[in-house]
Amino acid sequence: MSHHGLFISFEGIDGAGKSTHIDSLANAFRSEGQVVTLTREPGGTFLAEKLRSLVLEQAMDPLTESLLIFAARRDHVVRVIAPALLRGEVVLCDRFSDATFAYQGAGRGFDLDVLATLERWVQADEGLLGDPAGNQPMKPEVETVIEPDLTIWFDLPPEDAALRLAGSRIPDRFESQPVEFFRRVAQGYAERQRDHVERIAQIDASQARDVVWQCVLQTVVEKGWLQATAQS
């Protein structure tokens, strides 16, 4: 690795119940003296949060949606994620590129090859992370992509997620999609996990909340990044 930080992302369909566990994991890392950057996508910077509002509220075609999400991601990677990793922090990000492959790719039916090209451009390191010898910018010709060290996928049947979401708040452009959309998104996550089995850990999010938390904690402990006794 060319930096000393740790990058963990969290994924799942809307209603899968990621949020409380992300907060608990942040507390667990802090209880062991680590500095945590807690962030989300789309969002995480002034510009990216503006783009988030547009993407969640305005009607637009799938290409526009994908480009705005990747534009938000570029700003987030450059301004927040890469600097935090260079400082050696733990970056916990509520969603990252896997969401784009699941929602825009599988959900909206947008071309996966185009998404892969955009991913390579947007997450290109291009000297954002230093080299192992001394945090100096890497040579531009060395092609590396900034991606999570671990992704925790909260897997929940779309029907269960719809029940959890029902009546909780005014739905945005994604939350108001029919259950068929979320079946495709869930399928997209499953395919992504099969293709990145080393990086993406699947957790059964239909279990009781404290059981799900134990699975999250255990996944990180098994990586050697936290003690089993970490406080949440």
CB closer to ligand TMP, 104 vs 193? 104
Among 103, 153, 181, 189, binds ligand TMP (CB under 6 A): 103
Among 2, 7, 8, 14, binds ligand TMP (CB under 6 A): 14
Distant-in-sequence, close-in-space partners of 148: CB < 8 Å, separation ≥ 6: 7, 8, 9, 93, 96, 199
Within 170-189, the residues that bind ligand TMP by CB under 6 A are 174
CB closer to ligand TMP, 168 vs 224? 168
Q: Please choose, from the candidates 31, 26, 25, the residue with its C-alpha nearest in 3D space to the C-alpha of residue 215.
A: 25
By CB under 6 A, residue 21 contacts ligand TMP: no
- Tell me, by CB under 6 A, how many residues bind ligand TMP: 12
By CB under 6 A, residue 99 contacts ligand TMP: yes
By CB under 6 A, residue 7 contacts ligand TMP: no
Within 70-89, the residues that bind ligand TMP by CB under 6 A are none
CB closer to ligand TMP, 157 vs 174? 174
By CB under 6 A, residue 9 contacts ligand TMP: no
Give the number of other CB atoms < 10 A from CB of residue 122.
21
Phi and psi torsions of 154, nearest 5°: -85, 105
Q: Give the chain's largest Cα–Cα span.
A: 53
From 40-48, 115-123, 126-134, 156-164, give the range in contact with ligand TMP by CB under 6 A: 40-48
CB closer to ligand TMP, 14 vs 75? 14
Binding site for ligand TMP (CB under 6 A): 14, 40-42, 69, 94-95, 99-100, 103-104, 174
